[in-house]
Amino acid sequence: MARYYFTRWLLSSALLVVLSACAGAQQTGPTVRTEAPPATPIPAPPLTAPAPLPVRVAPTRPDGPKLWPTTSFRGADFIDVRDIAKRFGLKADWVKGKPAMTISDKNGVRFTFEEKQHDFYFDGLRIFLGEAPVQEKDTLWLTKLDVIKTVAPLFRPADHAALLPAALPKVIVLDPGHGGIDPGTENKKLKLNEKSLALDVSLRLKKILESRGWQVLLTRTDDRELSKYKTVDLQMRADFANKQKADLFLSIHFNAADEAVRGVEVYSLPAQFMLSSGSTKEDDRTKQSYPNNRFDYANLLLGSELHRAMISSLKASDRGYKRARWGVLLQAECPAALVECAYLSNDAEARRAGTPEYRQKIAEALATGLQNYSATLEALRPKPTVPAEPTGTSGAAKAKK
């Protein structure tokens, strides 16, 4: 647990960092961060995930929709962390001396929530809420929106099976970020740029997925922009996926921030009314519902499976599964995610990303995440009830009666 808090301290320091130059992907991206950058250098996040990731297990059977007990205060609806535990059949406990609660089963801690921390841990994976938990009336509260759009579907995807795509994904559009006049983020010292690395990872991923029977299309297969105008360029990438009637859309990027920051981030679109990760205020777009919001639950499943696979196989620092209104995601008419594979602003990580071996590892991790997403959908599909074949004698005996 001490390691958890050390990690938490490091990560919350890193949270203050203003997001990425890679936000070239953004144009109409998430709310501008209001936090001031820290005056002191940011310590490097730990190299390993805070807790070992468990083996993936098949989702539990659905137990039908139920209403959550909510309490309204400070102008919002909240749910008691103890009620979340009760619903899951688990146990909630305070962490000694901290404004934090855990939810555990017989095998140990499954969730950790802390007052004023936008991120929480689920089975060792770092996930961001729209709003930080609030401590009041001797308990910890999460907003209803965060519970129904993130916490509950993460823990019980089976409860939300009716809201997930019925068909398994076959056609995927990969979107290598930037290109042509837009290099994305660059590490000039190491002569690396985002547009080339993103294309290389996309081509490697295409090869892996095709060998596993997927149909794969790319928004660009060489070094070119789709439009000279960034907003149009981003819109054209989603339009391409929509025209191809893609079952999935995955935009591939590399990131930049202060030199000390490194690791992996995965994004999907925030639900309507949910704040983008790291922002503290609503803006004009918070209240809007975009075409991609029809896939909120599939986006969460896709994003969290990609994130789990990347953290587990790359052994990279966990920068979190986040939500942001990236321009390239808004109009996608299928489940969609955006991955930031590494920080080119961190020389050690950029050097790694500069090797074909590491980019192959990234592509394999992404392929694993996509396969796991598909496997979960398959596990949740209603099974057709096949009538039992009558066996020789007993069947004949019945027929005679």
Binding site for Zn ion (CB under 5 A): 22, 25, 177, 184, 253
Ramachandran assignment for 331, one of left (phi > 0), alpha (psi -120 to 50 degrees), beta (any other)? alpha
Distance of closest approach, residue 179 Cβ to Zn ion, in angstroms: 10
User: What DSSP letter does each residue of 135-188 carry, written as one string?
Assistant: EETTEEEEEHHHIIIIIHHHH-GGGGGGGS-SSPP-EEEEEE--BTTB--SEET
The angle formed by the CA atoms of residues 166, 169 and 175, to the nearest 5 degrees, is 135
| Residue with Cβ nearer Zn ion (7 or 345) | 345
Distance of closest approach, residue 253 Cβ to Zn ion, in angstroms: 3
CA–CA gap between residue 203 and residue 220 (Å, rounded): 10
Distance of closest approach, residue 46 Cβ to Zn ion, in angstroms: 25
Distance of closest approach, residue 237 Cβ to Zn ion, in angstroms: 12
User: What DSSP letter does each residue of 21-67 carry, written as one string?
Assistant: GGGGGTSS-SPPP-SPPPSSPPPPPPSS-SSPPPPP-PPPPP----P
Cβ proximity of 260 and 346 under 8 Å: yes
Greatest Cα pair distance in the chain: 88
Distance of closest approach, residue 15 Cβ to Zn ion, in angstroms: 20
Distance of closest approach, residue 243 Cβ to Zn ion, in angstroms: 23
Q: Which residue has the tokens 């925030």?
A: 270
| Residue with Cβ nearer Zn ion (87 or 237) | 237
| Residue with Cβ nearer Zn ion (208 or 234) | 234
| Residue with Cβ nearer Zn ion (332 or 377) | 332
Backbone angles phi, psi at 293, to 5 degrees: -65, -15
| Residue with Cβ nearer Zn ion (7 or 251) | 251
| Residue with Cβ nearer Zn ion (114 or 194) | 194
Instruction: Output the six-digit token pair for 316.
Output: 């990279």
